[in-house]
Amino acid sequence: MAVVKEQDVVPFRNRVREYAVKIKMGLVNQTKLITAASELVRNMLRYANGGKIRIEIVTKGRDNGIRLTFADTGPGISNIDLAMKDGYSTGKSLGLGLPGAKRLVNEFNIQTETGKGTTVTIIKWSNG
Ligand SMILES: Nc1ncnc2c1ncn2[C@@H]1O[C@H](COP(=O)(O)OP(=O)(O)OP(=O)(O)O)[C@@H](O)[C@H]1O
Ligand SMILES: [Mg+2]
C-alpha cells in the first residue's frame, strides 16, 4: 500500500494489526511489531516523502510471521552504520527510530543507496 501522507498511517497500522490477529500473534508481539512499523513509516514520510509498504504472512516451520517491506525512492542514507546507532539523527530528533525498530523485531534488513532510496524489511514471528 502507498503511504504518502500522515493520514495514511492509521489505516496502515490497522492493516498490520489485522494480519497479526489473523496469524494469532500475541498482544505483546503485536505491539512490538506495530511500534517498529510506526517508526519506519514515520521515517519514510519525513525523509523520503513516503513510499510503498508490502505486508505479507510468512512461514518458517510451524511458526507464522509478518514481513513488512518499506520501499521509498528518497535520498537514501549515506552512512548506514551511523544511522543504526542510538542517538544519530539528521532531523534533530532522538535518533532512536531505526535502532529501536531493529530491537523490536526478529529480522531487520536495510538496503539503501544514496540518491536512489531505501528499503527496510522486517519480520516479526508470531512466537518470536
Ligand atoms: N527512509 C529514509 N530515507 C532517508 N533517510 C533516512 C530514512 N530513514 C532514516 N533516515 C536517516 O537515518 C537517520 C536515523 O533515523 P532514526 O529513525 O533512527 O532517527 P530519527 O528519525 O532522526 O529520530 P527518531 O526516529 O528518534 O525521531 C535519520 O535522521 C535520517 O537521516
Ligand atoms: Mg525516525
Q: What is the pLDDT of residues 37-65, one digit of tens each?
A: 999 999 999 999 999 999 999 999 999 99
Question: Tens digits of per-residue pLDDT, 69-96?
Answer: 999 999 999 999 999 999 999 999 999 9
Q: Taking the complete model, does pTM exceed 0.95, yes or no? A: yes
Domains and CATH numbers, the chain: 2-125 (3.30.565.10)
- Give the whole-angstrom CA distance, residue 118 versus residue 26: 30
Give SS3 for 109.
strand
- Ligand 1 proximity of 100 Cβ (cutoff 6 Å): no
| Residue 128: pLDDT over 90 | no
- Ligand 1 proximity of 91 Cβ (cutoff 6 Å): yes
Strand pairing partners for 5?
none
Q: Is 23 left (phi over 0), alpha (psi -120 to 50) or beta?
A: alpha
Helical (H) or strand (E) element with 82: helix 80-83
Q: Which atom of ligand 1 is nearest to the CA of 90?
A: 29
- Ligand 1 proximity of 23 Cβ (cutoff 6 Å): no
- Give the whole-angstrom CA distance, residue 83 versus residue 97: 9
